[in-house]
Every structure is written in structure tokens, then in C-alpha cells.
Structure 1
Amino acid sequence: MALGNHSTITEFLFLGLSADPHVQALLFVLFLGIYLLTIVGNLMLLLVIRLDSQLHTPMYFLLSHLSFVDLCFSSVTVPKMLENLLSERKTISVEGCLAQVFFVFVTAGTEACLLSVMAYDRYAAICHPLLYGQIMSKQLYMHFVWGSWGLGFLDALINILLAVNMVFCEAQVIHHYSCEMPSLLHLSCSDISRNLVALLCSTLLHGLGTFLLVFLSYTRIISTILSITSTSSRSKAFSTCSSHLTAVILYYGSGLLRHLLPNSGSPVELIFSVQYTVVTPMLNPVIYSLKNNEVKTALKRTLEKYLQHIRY
């Protein structure tokens, strides 16, 4: 595990999103705004769920962890990207790059697992409403959450333990704005067969595996909703899962497309990467706030209590 195996390479150079200083300045303002909105939005959602007793349910417990993961996910890559947008030489140390890869694995893997667990929660609520309390017991959803974090951490640990033994060639340029495992594999001049196997297993588990669970849950959910005769009841049932479905489409759509595309640093690849690592963490609290009447009502109650506290 010694980092001395990295040949003479001590740092990597990012090509970033643009080489034009004026464009970089505009991108800095844009991504700084997105990052601040991400922090404020997710912290507000966490606070509302924590303070409002009516939101102390399995669904909102899972949502609070999703918000926390989004905060971490965005903070892994965006601060370094903002720093590089203001720097003439956009570099990162080998150790810093490996650390970024590790935390990208942890947060991205945990988010994928949480989204699949939330899909199962919506399946239990819509397909088995009378048994929902028994199915989604506190013990079960706690196990789901900590299992999601555990799988994300284990996946990251396995991949990074294999990555620290890679030897990097003189080609130290990363055609991206952040460190991701495919980018590092492209720069290695040592045997990466085990790294590729580990990355493939990670993709199958946290990518296709969790997506399959989401797909199966929503297949049953949609089938149940379509069998409801009452139009109002059908609309109400769909509204309970529309927020989560929107979040799933944004995350898996851009994330899977990013990893299916070849690692070339093409504009399309960078757009998909920005979508699932930067934009989606900002949009999730907005989606769950605007599309969820319970969250909007709880937010209103929390603001009213806060204003009353200030007055008195």
C-alpha cells in the first residue's frame, strides 16, 4: 500500500471544463451558486425533517440520509473544481486524487443504494398500505440505511486498496475536472486487470444492481396504480412516488450514461458528469420540496414557529 509505487508522478493536471479565462470566471460564479444552493437546500431539508414530528416516518428518515449524502457527494468534487477554475495550473496530488476517488465511490454507491431502498419503501406504501407499518419497521429501515453506507464504504475500500498499487506513467493529464477511477486507470502503465474486475463488480452492484431493484419496485407500483379505479386515488398514489421517480431518472440517467461513454473528456461526457455529481444534489431538495405537500406544509410550520420565536 505504499504510495512510493507511483513512479515519479506526484501530481495530476486537470484539463477542466474550459481553457478560456473568461469562460472559467463565468463557470466559477455558476458552480459556486449551485454549490451554495446545494448546501442550503439540503441543510434546510435535514432541519425540517428533524424538527417536524409529523415527518418522523421511514420515508423521510431515508430522505434525510439522501440529503446528507448529496451534501457529501457535492463537497467531494465541487470545492476542488472551484479552486481550479481560479488557478492557472489546475493540479491535484496523487494522494489527493486517490482520496477523491475513494469518497466518490462511498457517496455515489451509498446514494444508489438509498434510492433503491426508497423505491422499496414506496412499493410497500402503495402496494401494501395496510401492512406498511409492519413491513417498514424501524429495525428494517435502519438496517437498510446502515447497510447502504456499509456497502458504499466496502466498495470504495476494495477499489482504492487496489488503486494505491498502480504505477502511473508520464502521461499525467486528466481530461476531466475531478478524479474518477476510469480516469486513473487510463493513466496507469501497470497491470490493471484486477482494478478493472473490481470496477466492473462495482458497476454491476451499485449501478445495474440497484437500478434493477428500482425498476422491479416501480413495475409493481405502476401496475398497482393502474388497477385503482378512482381517478383521485390514482393521482394521490402517483404523487407519493413522483418525487422519488424524478430523482431516480436524473441520477441514474446521467450517471449510467457517464460511465457507459468512453473516457475521452468529450463535452457530452463532461455534461453528464456535471449533471450527476453537481446538479442532481442541488435539485433533489427542490424536487422533494416542490412535489411533496407534506414537506411544503412542514416547511411552512417550521418557518412560522421560527418567526414566532423571533417576535417573542
Structure 2
Amino acid sequence: MSSTFDYCSIAKRVLKTEMAALEQLKQYFNSSFIKACDMILSNQGKVVVMGIGKSGHIGKKLASTLASTGTSAFFVHPGEAAHGDLGMVDSKDIVLALSNSGESSEILSIFPVLKRLNVRIISITSKSCSNMAKLSDVHLQVSVPKEACPLGLAPTSSTTATLVMSDAIAVALLEARGFTANDFALSHPGGMLGRKLLLRLCDIMHAGEQVPVVTPETFIREALVEISKKGLGMTAIVDKKENLVGIFTDGDLRRILDKRINIHSTTIDVVMNPKPITASPNMLAVEGVNLMQKKNINGLILCNDDGSPIGALNMHDLLKSGVM
């Protein structure tokens, strides 16, 4: 059903208004911004983010972003802080307070206690003459020409600008710390990046009795039973010293059937691949994926340094692990 109301024109107007607000934000990346970043970077405690209403929502996102990029931080609702949660704040901490007006009574009411505790305060407001700005050790101004809301009431451009200022602080600190993708993964072990950077083949491989293994003297038909039993689409072939001497896969089976080789009377060493692609169990799972794709194979035998197989996996295992 088509609409006669021009929603898209309004959306474009909102975009234009908020882009103008962000363009103006450049002037506030100044000496105060540098001082705030230096203060947080050298801080021995945590960053306690506070805000109420829409500023509170931005504050929660800021605290989360800081925490995941190397800066210890958490969010405290100013209302709850006044009723006991202020006990979470230590003299070594920095309070980062967000308020568009800079006059939020819930935040201002706890400033005297913060001052008594010698807690340093960074505020982000739209007015340098606000009480929060005056009482803070560092004030970051975020003023916008106008809100995207035609009534000028709903926080829109102002919250977008505050969000960008918050992201700028977090990213500036991230780079100043030399924070790496590996560091990020350590705080995101359950996410896709964490799995790609932390998960190793030994974490997902089949080991022990689950590894399909036969000897060179095994008949092909018996090797097929082992392949079917272990369900990995392949089997390792090992010598008397348990060293890997070959591999036989489902693909190899199709090829020998085309050659009409008797699977009941032919031993596996006749048809095995004597130069199998192997990997270390300590290899990152994502590297295992790349190796299998590069070599166009569906399974890997994982070997110790002495050449003995200790694990096996196939592409399905890697799919289940979430690294693909």
C-alpha cells in the first residue's frame, strides 16, 4: 500500500541537519579534548560514566565501548548513585558525566560528594557556562545548531553529536594504548572476532578414539569401515611407530572406484596419498580454514612435532565452531 506522506523527504532533512551538527563538532576537538584523553589514559582507576535520560543511553554505550577497547569503565545511573551506588566510585576513578543542558539535578547533587572524594570529573555538555561545566576538571562542549526534531524538543542532533564525541574519545584512547585486534578478542571471546582470533584447532578437533586410524596393511574395505565409523570422511594411515605415512579420503575412494580397484584384496598403502596436508593442533582455527580452502581439501590430520597424529577435523567442524 502506497503512502501519500513524504517520509523520505523528512528523513533526508533529518540526515542533513545531523550532518551539519557533526560538521560543527570538529571545533570541539581541542585542548580540552586532549586533556580529557590524557587524564583517562594516565588514570590508575576506572572511568565511571553517568548520565540520565537520553544522555544516559549514550553514556551506557560509551562505558561499553571504553571497556571493550582497553579502558576499564562502567556506567552508574546518577539516581542510583545517590542511593548507595556511589560506593562503587573510588578516589582513583574518573567520573565522565553527560548532560545536554549541563544542569541535570540528579548529577549535580552528587558532585559535592565526588569533590570530597577527590574524584576528578570530565563533563560533556552543550553549554560551557553550565554548572556541570564549571564544576568539572575538564569540560568537553558539544553544541549543535539545532535538533532534527522540528519542535526542537526531542534530543536528536545533540545525542548524535554526543555519541560521536564519545566514540572519538574511545578510539583516541584505543590508538594511544596501542590496543590490538588480539586485545579486543580477549574481551569478546564469545563473538565472531573472538572465535577467529582465539580459537585453535585443538579446541575443536576430534581426539583419542575419535581419530580414524589404520595401518598400511589394512585392506581398503576395512579402512572404509573405519572412515564410516568415525564420520570424518577420511582416515590416517600410520606405521608401527605411530608416525603418519598417508591419508585416504572419500575423494580417494571415488577415484579408485573409477579405476575398478578391488577393495577387498587391495591394501590401503597402494591407494593412499603418501603426502597428506597436515597441521599443528596449535594453529588458529581461521588459519585452518584458509589452509583447507587453499589446498581444496575437506579434512585435516593434526600432528605432534614427532609426526604422530593426535587429532582430526573436517570442514563441518569448522563451520560448527563459527569461524566461517
The alignment's TM-score, normalised by the length of structure 2, stands at 0.24
The structure whose RCO (Cα within 8 Å, separation 6+) is larger is 1
Tell me which structure has the larger Cα radius of gyration. 2
The alignment's TM-score, normalised by the length of structure 1, stands at 0.25
Structure 1 or 2: larger helix share? 1
